Amino acid sequence: MGQALRGDAGAGRRRRSARALIPLGAALLLVPAWLSRPAVSWAQDGVSPAVTATPQFPLGLVPHQSGRFTVAAAPHDETLARSLLRAAVERDSFPWLPRPAARVLVLIAPDRRAFRDLIGPLAPEYGSAIAIPAERRIIMQGSRAGADAGNPVQVLRHELAHLALHEHLGDLPPRWFDEGYASLAAGEWGREEVLTTNLALVMRGVPTLEALEAAFAGGAVRAGAAYALAHRAVVELAALDPARGLTLFFAYWRQEGELDPAVRRAFNITQAGFEQRWRDRTRRRYGALALFADLTLAALLLLFLVLPLYLSRRRRDRRRLEAMAHAEQELERRERESAIDALLRSVASQESSGESPPSPPPGP
């Protein structure tokens, strides 16, 4: 789906994130200052192009503004931009968090190449959007994206959840929680389908939360499983308090500044205890499904390999039987012809010797 360029792992990661944004160009240097300006008025439908006082945007993108959101898109993505802007305004709240107040800029890349140029060389190959919480900016693909880009409304919701979470908690959330919460807030329940075919859950078990952090950088397939496990972890954490979800947890996390004390205060369980609970429940829930799915896949693969051999064997047996039947028919024909020839020669011999041919037996 997407990710957030984070600054929660020290100065080294912050420098890497900064280098990734170099391709944005000098035009975007004006954007943070522009985002701090008061919102301009908009048309009656809630969406309007930016006024002439707004700065120039890269790639000729045209800004549209409503509420605290500005969506900049190429002319061919204007309809998409207005649709995303309207969806963001109409659903501008996130589970268990206070309503966000910071202004947000969404850049819709006109094509895949422009998207790669905008997000920079250090961003992963997978994903259709990226959030930059420190700059309150989202970069996503537009209408010319491939089929794997996903539903743009859901993609934007995912990235906005990143920004809302960071607006309230700063850089406190680790990557697994950041992605898991954004996935939950965007309603990406289909992510867990990945776990039903993941044999690694059976063979190696569910990874630790620490190991899950590194899995997001392990390629598209591995990252897909990491997103699903992170989604599952946040769902499990919220389920510990069915009445209030993560409301108290977020408050305690902001006060304590650390995850483990916040988990203890909110749910009366240690972080290690929650982690073990999440791993056990995930493996029980999806391990058997993954094993069944992989056994089914193996059976189908075996059938795919064996079926051609079986059909070929059937064809060979059928041809052999047909050849045997033809040989038997030919043998019978030759035997009949031989018997008739022998009878004719016998009659001819008797006639030449003057003997009368044997008379037929008397009738009844």
The pLDDT of residue 124: 66
The pLDDT of residue 160: 98
pTM of the model: 0.69
Is there a domain that residue 353 lies in? no
Task: Clarify whether residues 123 and 193 are in a common domain.
Answer: no
CB proximity list for 131: less than 8 A, separation 6 or greater: 2, 3, 4, 5, 137, 138, 159, 160, 162, 163
Quick: pLDDT tens for 219-233: 777 888 889 899 999
pLDDT band at 256 (very low <50, low <70, confident <90, very high): very high
Task: Clarify whether residues 23 and 100 are in a common domain.
Answer: yes
pLDDT band at 203 (very low <50, low <70, confident <90, very high): low
Contact 290, 195 (CB under 8 A): yes
Please tell me the least confidently modeled range out of 105-109, 328-332, 354-358: 354-358
Task: Clarify whether residues 256 and 107 are in a common domain.
Answer: no
Task: Clarify whether residues 234 and 120 are in a common domain.
Answer: no
For the beta carbon of residue 264, count every other beta carbon within 10 angstroms: 17
Task: Clarify whether residues 121 and 192 are in a common domain.
Answer: no
More confident residue, 41 or 298: 298
Task: Clarify whether residues 159 and 192 are in a common domain.
Answer: no
Rounded CA separation 217/222 (Å)? 8
pLDDT band at 333 (very low <50, low <70, confident <90, very high): confident
Contact 39, 211 (CB under 8 A): no
The pLDDT of residue 15: 31
Q: In what order do the strands lie in the sheet with 137-141?
A: 2-4, 129-132, 137-141, 104-109, 69-73, 62-66, 48-49
Is there a domain that residue 40 lies in? yes
Task: Clarify whether residues 24 and 86 are in a common domain.
Answer: yes
Is residue 20 scored above 70 in pLDDT?
Answer: no
More confident residue, 122 or 166: 166
Task: Clarify whether residues 127 and 249 are in a common domain.
Answer: no
148: domain CATH number is: 3.40.30
Task: Clarify whether residues 89 and 59 are in a common domain.
Answer: yes
Task: Clarify whether residues 218 and 245 are in a common domain.
Answer: yes
Please tell me the least confidently modeled range out of 56-65, 195-204, 247-256: 195-204
Is there a domain that residue 344 lies in? no
Is there a domain that residue 361 lies in? no
Q: What percent of the chain stands above pLDDT 70? A: 70
Quick: pLDDT tens for 156-190: 999 999 999 999 999 999 999 999 999 999 999 87
Is there a domain that residue 337 lies in? no
How many domains in the chain? Answer: 2
Task: Clarify whether residues 159 and 188 are in a common domain.
Answer: no
Whole domain around residue 218: which residue ranges? 172-332
Task: Clarify whether residues 7 and 139 are in a common domain.
Answer: yes
Rounded CA separation 156/162 (Å)? 10
Rounded CA separation 223/191 (Å)? 11
Please tell me the least confidently modeled range out of 48-57, 62-71, 195-204: 48-57
Name the one residue in this structure whose structure tokens are 């549209």.
Answer: 64
Q: What angle do CA 7, 138, 18 make, to 5 degrees?
A: 35
pLDDT band at 137 (very low <50, low <70, confident <90, very high): very high
β-pair type (48-49, 62-66): antiparallel
pLDDT band at 99 (very low <50, low <70, confident <90, very high): very high
Name the one residue in this structure whose structure tokens are 């009366």.
Answer: 268
Rounded average pLDDT over 287-314 = 58
